[in-house]
Amino acid sequence: MNFSPPSERVSKAKNTNTVTEQMTKAGQKIEHSSFAIVDAEAGNKGNYTDEQWPLVRRMIHATADFEFNGLTEFHPDAMQAGLEAIAAGAPIVADVEMICVGLSKPRLSHFGVQTHQFISDDDVIETAKAEGTTRAVQAMRKAHKLGLLNGAIVGVGNAPTALLEVIHLIQEEGAKPALIVGMPVGFVSAKESKDIVAASNQVPWVITRGRKGGSTLVVSAIHAMLALAEAREKGNLST
């Protein structure tokens, strides 16, 4: 039983993330201990701001790969754009279903955020076959036709062609996502697609340089932003 004064309990609730935390105290303890280990072993974090580091830390936590302390790069407006998009309930458009499944539904629901992916839709598959393109390309084109890209957070963790198509839609068709989380993994165009995103500089982005990436990283990055958005909502993060 909690015998602390009501005012103290309210203060604790205000200053503690609840929606974006693990659901049990045991889970919270393990996660917080893991974050503390990452902080202690990461070495120089000078390349990142106080808002950027929680995202990088969570990516390291998800992969046990400290190279993301350095491989992860941010557009100067990336964190602000992502937090504003989440607060506004903007959609998340992903290249693959894995990202949508990996994101916490209660955390998304708290902000009214919905996820979308079209990689396995029949019309996407048929058009890709007919036009000799990838399903990932056609999935992003479908998202644009449905008006979902404008103001959205676009998460790409698997298909470089999806990332290249998003840049094409921005440059040629006026699409305007709020943020691109571009982290495709692989050997064919993965590195190059992320380089192109960073060079285009037309919308804010977060990328992982080189071949490393994956849907797990996109999920981790978005979860970090959700946690920061809750902290800001509670007045614990400066705007």
Quick: pLDDT tens for 135-152: 999 999 999 999 999 999
Indicate which CATH number applies to the domain containing 203: 3.40.50.10230
Nearest CA-CA partner of 223 in 171, 163, 155, 167: 155
Pick the catalytic residue: 32, 61, 168, 223?
A: 61
- Does some domain include residue 29? no
Residue 221 makes CB contacts below 8 A (sequence gap 6+) with: 55, 58, 59, 155, 181, 183, 206
- Does some domain include residue 24? no
- Does some domain include residue 36? no
Low-confidence ranges of the chain (pLDDT < 50): 1-13, 239
- Specify the pLDDT at position 191: 97
- Does some domain include residue 21? no
- Does some domain include residue 9? no
- Specify the pLDDT at position 4: 37
- Specify the pLDDT at position 2: 38
**Total number of domains constituting the chain:** 1
pTM above 0.85, yes or no: yes
- Specify the pLDDT at position 3: 33
Would the CA dihedral through 126, 132, 133, 135 be positive or negative? positive
- Does some domain include residue 191? yes
CA–CA separation, 128 and 142 (whole Å):
11
- Does some domain include residue 47? no
Owner of token pair 């390291």: 60
Residue 61 known to be catalytic: yes
- Does some domain include residue 166? yes
